[in-house]
Structure 1
């Protein structure tokens, strides 16, 4: 009777093992082949807002903000984009800063941001984008860079470089083309052409100011070379530009660039151009840009200060959660492991019992 029970248990465990192995394989196949299946899923705006409020209550304390402001004020040169984001967060949260920090802010502001100094810095920034900080680039360059005038100037400038055989800034040119061709490109990624124009222009401004993370720049370079057939645009004319642009686009390569610009555009509409530049600089990769855009839409103008205070990685995690597919895969893996452990333990137990019986049974000598 016991042998039958053990046999039945082994059969059941074997069947469960096969079933668990099949379910695990199926879940892995779904994650690998289905574009809609993912290990993580996006949270709703209300869920993001609730978690952002919890994060701000924990991070945006008077002590933390004062300490971070002290660090930024001690830097040379001072990063006024981050300083302004933190002071704005403190005002929004009604945080009373220590008098010493308030006095240090006033002294630094008077030293760095007098009218004459800012006018001279703005002139330098307009001449050379690499010498702009984020406050200057917004005040001095963005009004032109984010408009079709800036996009058209970039296309003409880089097109001349291409014709002369000179180095072409493919990132700048691709973003300008995305901005000019937003109406044609928007259907590839969804959303409005205005959001795409805003995002492309602001991303190009950040690129020219050197405010994009190395990972974002590397991805941009990799995609820009394949996104557009530049030879078709080299000889275009203003009257043929729209038609030539549509013919020159390669949808598969340009889609991630347009999606990135769309995320920046959403970010810009949520918090404004200057604050969006702060968020864009803090992000380390395109995935963080997309997630921070979702947080900015839920959190509004206080988001840049939280990112400066807590870090882009921590804030971006507020926008995602483990997906149902992940939980199904985890449960399948757990059941698979348990079945394997059960079979191994059952086999070990049977072997041990067999050895114990042999040891307990007296040996019989053969008669001559």
Structure 2
């Protein structure tokens, strides 16, 4: 299945699921249409659909195109996007981010509805509370959609895939907590930054989805080991590219204002390396600017100069190339991965390393 057709299938499954559950919510009370509409916006307003894509190619590493069970796997993989929508909604509350994919974040949208209706009390409080509940609902729905679909593959394969789905949810929360902890401690630690990436991105975005697909397909242990190696390496490359785009990217492409990661005080490898390599004057710029919510465009510019002049940006670029190459090696050396899947995974490794959004 071509990438465009896969994404169309995922979008169709998500739309059908959301339509059914909108009817459930509005059957409880008409006011819940607001929540249903917000869920649809959070899920269907864009996104790369990486997790379903990797789940599909994990499946196709074992099974040929159109094999029995592929439809159930795609439906289960679509459920991973409900988990991702939950994570993004909650992440925007945690980071006080105003936008997501170029549109108002869920908590901002809810706060705006509060103001539009002239309700009493603080609009921001309602916005945060409603967004947290929206994220909780999406988390619940992800479990429902995944389990209902994967059950059609039989108890053994469904159980194995479900175990990876359980670990995926635990690991992403663990990574998110480690990220919040790193920001609260205020230190710039490259090892800590890589640990956050391992759980918040590598396992969540690439490794576990691949293993969900491959175990659902009945993949052998040797193949699963190679997919794990690929996922860990590529997930790191993907996140490091994301960190660079958060500082140096084009907002028209990324959908977020350039420099927001600096204002939010994210302890990325990029920033940690700059702090480690900086001279005293440069370190003062880093200490003063990273985590300042009022950081001006000029402040962002000065921080960018430090990130470049210390060599931190070049080091991250080299690590991205190294990790993308390691991902390719894991697939090239694995003769058990079916050829179509190997080609697709190699292409995804290149795309992740060199993307601009």
Question: Do they fold alike, i.e. is TM over 0.5?
Answer: no
Indicate the structure (1 or 2) with the bigger Cα radius of gyration.
Answer: 1
Higher relative contact order (CA 8 A, sep 6+): 1
- Using the size of structure 1 for normalisation, the TM-score is 0.24
